[in-house]
Amino acid sequence: MGVSGVGKTTVGRLVAAELGLPFHDADALHSEASRRKMAAGIPLTEDDREPWLRTIAERMAGWAVEGGAVVACSALRRRHRDVLAAASPGDVRFVFLDADPRVVEERLAVRRGHYMPASLLDSQLATLERPGPDEAIRVDASGTPAETAGAAVAALG
């Protein structure tokens, strides 16, 4: 979990490979209307996010039955994380990828092929409710994807 551009997809794929689990990107579950809105530089509202979060939670419940998965999702607010955690109570663990906003800005500036423009980073940072240690494992995502994934796997035990 974390803001756009912090490395959720790249790191998530590496973590999934290391753990021998399937990887899923929650961005693929956004409605077309939400994708168009973000592509136009318009931040999503909680009303936009609600059906998306429910869909992710439904899928997560199925993936848990199948043996688990690594899911990349922004999960910016505690309420978002609560919805997702309810998908498989006791089995959902969050890894908060955290990096200085300047590092994330640099990454977004060179990212290609994603509908989320760099201009929405400020709204994501404003929406972010940083999880405490009771909610998520914090991993510094300022390094390389391999370093970040290694730290995440080590923290997950």
Residue 109 has φ and ψ, to the nearest 5°, of -65, -25
Please count the structural domains in the chain: 1
Q: What is the pLDDT of residues 62-101, one digit of tens each?
A: 999 999 999 999 999 999 999 999 998 888 999 999 999 9
Give the separation between CA 68 and CA 78, rounded to whole angstroms: 22
Q: What is the pLDDT of residues 7-59, one digit of tens each?
A: 999 999 999 999 999 999 999 999 999 988 988 888 889 999 999 999 999 99
Residues whose CB is less than 8 angstroms from the CB of residue 88 and which lie 6 or more positions away in sequence, other chains included: 60, 61, 64
Tell whether 1 is covered by a domain.
no
**pTM of the complete model:** 0.89
Give the separation between CA 105 and CA 124, rounded to whole angstroms: 12
Tell whether 127 is covered by a domain.
yes
**Residue 67 lies in domain:** 8-156
In 69-145 the beta strands, taken as DSSP E runs, fall at 70-72, 94-98, 136-140
The CATH code of the domain that includes 75 is 3.40.50.300
Residues whose CB is less than 8 angstroms from the CB of residue 111 and which lie 6 or more positions away in sequence, other chains included: 5, 118
Tell whether 135 is covered by a domain.
yes
Tell whether 2 is covered by a domain.
no
pLDDT recorded at residue 51 = 96
